[in-house]
Amino acid sequence: MKRSQPDQPDTSQATGLLSRCTPRHEWNADLASQWLQQRFGRPWKRADLLQALIVIQHHFGSVTPVAQQWLAHHCQTDRAEIRALIHFYHFLEEDDPLPLRIRFASNIIEQHQGLQALLEQLQHSVHQHARVSKTACIGLSDQGPAALVNGFPLTHLNARRIEAIAEKLQQQVPLQEWPAEWFRVEENVRVAGPLLSFHPDPGNFIPNIRARDPHAIINEIKTAGLRGRGGAGFPTGVKWEHCAATPAPQRYVVCNADEGEPGTFKDRVLLQRHADAVFCGMALCGHAIGARHGIVYLRGEYLFLFAPLQQRLQHWRTQQWLGDHFDIEIHLGAGAYVCGEETALLESVEGKRGIPRVKPPFPVQHGLFGMPTVVNNVETFAAAAWIAEQGADAFRQSGTPQSAGTHVHSVSGDCAKPGIYELPFGTPLDQLLTLCGATDCVLVQVGGPSGVMVDSSGFQQPLAHESMSPGGSIMVFDHSRAHLDIARNFTAFFKDESCGFCTPCRAGCQILQRDLQQPSHRIDTQALRQLAQLVNDTSHCGLGQTAGRPVLFWLDREHP
Partner 1 sequence: MNEPVFWLDDKAIPFRDGQTVMTAVTAAGHYIPHLCHHPDLTPHGSCRLCIVQIDGRIRAACTTPAQANMKVTFDTTLLNQQRRQIVELLFAEGNHLCPSCEVSGNCQLQALAYDLGMTHSEFAPLYPQRETDGSHPDIFVDQDRCIFCELCTRSARELDQKNIFGISGRGSHTYLLAHSDSGKLGDTALTETDRAAHICPVGCLLPRNGNYQIPIGERLYDAQPIHIRGNHRPDDGEFTP
* Contacting positions for partner 1 (CB under 8 A): 69, 72, 78-81, 83-84, 87-88, 336, 353, 358, 360, 495-504, 506-511, 514-515, 527, 530-531, 534, 537-540
In the complex, the smallest distance separating the C-beta of residue 510 from partner 1, rounded to whole angstroms, is 5
Shortest approach of partner 1 to residue 351 CB, angstroms? 14
Does residue 460 sit in helix, strand or coil?
A: coil
- Whose Cβ is closer to partner 1: residue 125's or residue 135's? 135
Minimum CB separation of residue 344 from partner 1 in Å reads 11
Nearer of residues 65 and 207 to partner 1, judged by Cβ: 65
Nearest to 194 by CA among 230, 226, 219, 222: 226
Q: Which CB sits closer to partner 1, 18 or 336?
A: 336
- Residue whose CB is less far from partner 1, 484 or 507: 507
Q: Which lies closer to partner 1 via its Cβ, residue 27 or residue 321?
A: 27
What would you report as the CA-atom Rg of the chain, rounded to the nearest whole angstrom?
23
Q: List the alpha helices (DSSP H) in 319-420.
A: 342-349, 378-390, 392-396
3-state secondary structure at position 228: coil
Q: Which are the contacts of 1, defined by CB distance < 8 A and separation ≥ 6?
A: 172
Is the sign of the CA dihedral 354, 357, 363, 366 positive or negative? negative
If the CB atoms of residues 243 and 339 are measured against partner 1, the closer one turns out to be: 339
- Cβ-based nearer residue to partner 1, 5 or 518: 518
Of the pair 78, 556, the CB lying nearest partner 1 is at 78
Q: From start to end of 467-534, where are the E strands?
A: 473-477
- In angstroms, the CA 216 to CA 41 distance is 36
CB atoms near residue 419 (< 10 Å): 22
**Complete DSSP assignment for 128-193:** TTEEEEEES--S-GGG-S-EEETTEEE-S--HHHHHHHHHHHHTT--GGGS-GGGG-----EEE--
Query: Toward partner 1, which CB reaches closer, 1 or 80?
Result: 80
Using the minimum distance from each CB to partner 1, give the nearer residue, 107 or 113. Answer: 107
| Separation of alpha carbons 507 and 531, rounded Å | 10
Give least dist CB 454 to partner 1, A.
25
For the CB of residue 79, give the shortest distance to partner 1 in the complex, in Å: 4
Q: Which neighbouring-strand residues pair with 400?
A: none
β partners of residue 428 = 462
**Euclidean distance between CA atoms 231 and 156, whole angstroms:** 28
Least separation, in Å, of the C-beta of 332 and partner 1? 18
Say how many C-beta atoms besides its own lie within 10 A of residue 476's C-beta.
Answer: 24
CB of 300 to partner 1, least distance (A): 15
CA-CA distance, 39 to 380, in Å (whole number)? 28
Sheet holding 406-413, edge to edge: 189-191, 419-424, 406-413, 473-477, 443-446, 452-455
Please enumerate in sequence order all residues whose Cβ is within 8 A of that of 89, keeping only pairs 6 or more positions apart, or say none. 50, 53, 300, 333, 334, 335, 336, 354
CB of 201 to partner 1, least distance (A): 43
